[in-house]
Homo-oligomer: A and B are copies of this chain.
Amino acid sequence: MRKPLILVVNDDGITANGIRNLIKIMNDFGDVVVVAPDSPQSGKSHAITLEETIRCDKVKIDNGPQIEYSCSGTPVDCVKLALNKLLDRKPDLCVSGINHGSNSSINVIYSGTMSAAIEGALDGIPSIGFSLLDYSKDADFSESTAFIRLITKQVLKNGLNDGICLNVNIPKSINQQKIRGIRVCRQARANWVEEFEERTDPKGRSYYWLTGKFINYDKADDTDEWALANQYVSVVPVQFDVTSHPSLASIKKLFFNE
């Protein structure tokens, strides 16, 4: 039987610890092809490169059977390039990450990691984004491994419904407290409150750094924020149909009482 073909992507860049760990895990499940950005692409969301050209080179980063390509584009460019130029067949699985930092709740719409998984889902590939709640470059991914293995195994075996992918966030171990399990949940209603930091350059012109504070407005216990705060791995099924179906009737009323 042919081994599964697994596409590995991320948004922190091809040399990040998170993707190096994910590649190692995926090598146990199938034939791995990595197509990942040559530089950090955090916060790039579903951006694609239209105004510039894209470079893509075969590279060897570390040992292992995986085939790897480093790409100048965004995470979504990487998936498109993989599916349309680099792979000779459709992958059986697309995994993205392991992201250094949370992609829970509203972060899903800013995240390059999650958009790569969503792009995989758009093309009918079972796709998962993995994130660890630790922004550190030297984050410890060891406790994540068992959960990534379990979720990968289930998705490879059962597939996913058409039109969705999974957003998996893994809590950081605090005070040696072990992860308590997996919770399938919805995206919490949360938001960033921005606090742009204004600075002056050596020529006296001002510029800004985007910073911000995350605020969770949603105190229910069926959300990803609740799961993570309670030391569970959160799994949110994410869809790319962004139509607000429950609003169709009221918006119809707004225009000509249809």
List chain A positions with a Cβ less than 8 A from chain B. 39-40, 42-51, 53-56, 73-74, 76-77, 80-81, 83-85, 106, 108-110, 115, 118, 122-123, 150-151, 154-155, 158, 161, 163-164, 166, 181-182, 184-187, 189, 191, 193-196, 198-199, 205, 207-210, 235-245, 247-248, 250-252, 254-256, 258
Contacts and interface: CB of A to CB of B under 8 A. Distances in A.
Contacts of A255: 150-151, 154, 182, 184, 235
Nearest to A209: B53
A222 B189 CA distance: 29
Given A85-B208, A244-B164, A50 B46 contact: no
A254 B237 CA distance: 12
A210 B115 CA distance: 17
A43 B241 CA distance: 18
A242 B242 contact: yes
B189 A241 contact: yes
A81 to B, nearest CB: 6
Contacts of A236: 243
A161 to B, nearest CB: 5
A244 B235 contact: no
Given A110-B48, A254-B158, A242 B248 contact: no
A135 to B, nearest CB: 11
A47 B47 contact: yes
Nearest to A71: B208
B186 A247 contact: no
A154 to B, nearest CB: 5
Given A46-B46, A49-B210, A85-B208, 8 more contacts: A45-B46, A45-B115, A48-B210, A77-B210, A84-B193, A155-B254, A181-B256, A237-B247
Contacts of A166: 251
23 contacts: A43-B50, A44-B47, A45-B45, A45-B46, A45-B48, A47-B47, A53-B209, A54-B207, A54-B208, A55-B208, A73-B210, A83-B194, A84-B194, A85-B208, A108-B242, A123-B191, A158-B254, A164-B244, A166-B251, A182-B255, A184-B252, A186-B243, A189-B241
Contacts of A163: 189, 244
Given A46-B46, A191-B123, A255-B154, A248 B184 contact: yes
Nearest to A39: B51
